[in-house]
Amino acid sequence: MIRVNNRDEIEWQDGLTVSDLLERCRYTFAHIIVKIDGEVILPEEYDTRVIPDGAQVHVIHLIAGG
């Protein structure tokens, strides 16, 4: 199990990448910051960076309306 944004419990699976997680959460907004256990993950790593079981993931959306 991984925890997203200190709230949502997401079932972990072997090989789960950041891109997989974003798709599963339907996080389509591109202008985001992703942290795994406090470490900032760069966008170019989203497709390859695997999230470990038990990780705390933060997906901060940099959007603030019109």
Residue ranges that bind other proteins, judged by CB under 8 A: 5-7, 26-31, 33, 40, 58-66
Residue 19's H or E segment, with its range, is helix 18-24
- CB 14 → other proteins: shortest distance, Å? 26
**Residue 51 DSSP symbol:** P
Q: Which is nearer to other proteins, 14 or 28 (CB)?
A: 28
Contact 61, 32 (CB under 8 A): yes
* Cβ closest to other proteins, residue 14 vs residue 29: 29
CB of 52 to other proteins, least distance (A): 21
Q: Beta-carbon neighbour count of residue 41 at 10 Å?
A: 18
